[in-house]
Protein backbone atom coordinates (compact mmCIF):
# COMPACT_ATOMS: atom_id res chain seq x y z
CA UNK A 1 0.00 0.00 0.00
CA UNK A 2 1.39 3.42 -0.92
CA UNK A 3 1.21 6.71 0.97
CA UNK A 4 -1.36 9.28 -0.09
CA UNK A 5 0.06 12.26 -2.02
CA UNK A 6 -1.27 14.79 0.51
CA UNK A 7 0.68 13.11 3.32
CA UNK A 8 4.06 13.23 1.62
CA UNK A 9 6.58 15.86 2.57
CA UNK A 10 6.96 18.13 -0.41
CA UNK A 11 9.73 20.16 1.26
CA UNK A 12 12.49 17.68 0.56
CA UNK A 13 11.35 17.08 -3.01
CA UNK A 14 10.90 20.72 -4.02
CA UNK A 15 13.51 22.25 -1.71
CA UNK A 16 11.10 24.87 -0.42
CA UNK A 17 11.83 26.76 2.78
CA UNK A 18 9.66 26.16 5.82
CA UNK A 19 8.06 29.19 7.47
CA UNK A 20 7.95 27.65 10.93
CA UNK A 21 10.94 26.28 12.82
CA UNK A 22 10.63 23.53 15.37
CA UNK A 23 11.37 24.38 18.99
CA UNK A 24 14.79 22.73 19.03
CA UNK A 25 15.74 24.54 15.81
CA UNK A 26 14.81 27.91 17.34
CA UNK A 27 16.85 27.15 20.47
CA UNK A 28 19.83 26.11 18.34
CA UNK A 29 19.54 29.30 16.26
CA UNK A 30 19.39 31.46 19.40
CA UNK A 31 22.44 29.65 20.87
CA UNK A 32 24.41 30.25 17.67
CA UNK A 33 23.61 33.99 17.78
CA UNK A 34 24.30 34.32 21.49
CA UNK A 35 20.68 35.16 22.38
CA UNK A 36 20.08 32.10 24.54
CA UNK A 37 20.28 32.51 28.34
CA UNK A 38 20.91 29.40 30.46
CA UNK A 39 17.89 28.45 32.53
CA UNK A 40 15.41 30.07 30.12
CA UNK A 41 12.13 28.30 29.47
CA UNK A 42 11.69 26.73 26.06
CA UNK A 43 8.07 27.91 26.00
CA UNK A 44 7.20 31.30 24.52
CA UNK A 45 10.26 31.59 22.30
CA UNK A 46 10.31 34.45 19.77
CA UNK A 47 9.60 33.75 16.13
CA UNK A 48 12.61 33.61 13.84
CA UNK A 49 12.34 34.90 10.29
CA UNK A 50 13.63 32.56 7.62
CA UNK A 51 15.14 34.09 4.51
CA UNK A 52 16.44 32.30 1.48
CA UNK A 53 19.30 34.14 -0.16
CA UNK A 54 19.70 34.15 -3.92
CA UNK A 55 23.09 34.65 -5.54
CA UNK A 56 23.28 37.30 -8.22
CA UNK A 57 25.92 36.18 -10.65
CA UNK A 58 25.09 38.74 -13.34
CA UNK A 59 25.86 41.69 -11.06
CA UNK A 60 29.26 40.26 -10.10
CA UNK A 61 30.17 39.66 -13.74
CA UNK A 62 29.29 43.28 -14.64
CA UNK A 63 31.47 44.61 -11.81
CA UNK A 64 34.36 42.43 -12.91
CA UNK A 65 33.99 43.52 -16.52
CA UNK A 66 33.75 47.19 -15.52
CA UNK A 67 36.98 46.93 -13.52
CA UNK A 68 38.88 45.35 -16.44
CA UNK A 69 37.65 47.67 -19.20
CA UNK A 70 39.65 50.84 -18.29
CA UNK A 71 42.89 48.86 -17.97
CA UNK A 72 42.36 47.17 -21.32
CA UNK A 73 41.40 50.44 -23.04
CA UNK A 74 44.62 52.20 -22.01
CA UNK A 75 47.39 51.46 -24.50
CA UNK A 76 50.83 50.71 -23.08
CA UNK A 77 53.43 53.48 -23.35
CA UNK A 78 56.06 52.74 -25.99
Q: Give tens-digit pLDDT for 32-42.
A: 999 999 999 99
**pLDDT of amino acid 29:** 92
In the predicted model, is pLDDT for residue 63 greater than 60?
Answer: yes
Summary mean pLDDT of the chain: 77
- The residue among 48, 1, 2, 57 whose CA lies nearest residue 27 is 48
The domain locations on the chain are 9-51
* SS3 call for 25: helix
Amino acid sequence: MSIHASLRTSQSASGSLRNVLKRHERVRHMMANGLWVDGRSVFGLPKIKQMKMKARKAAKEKEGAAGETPAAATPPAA
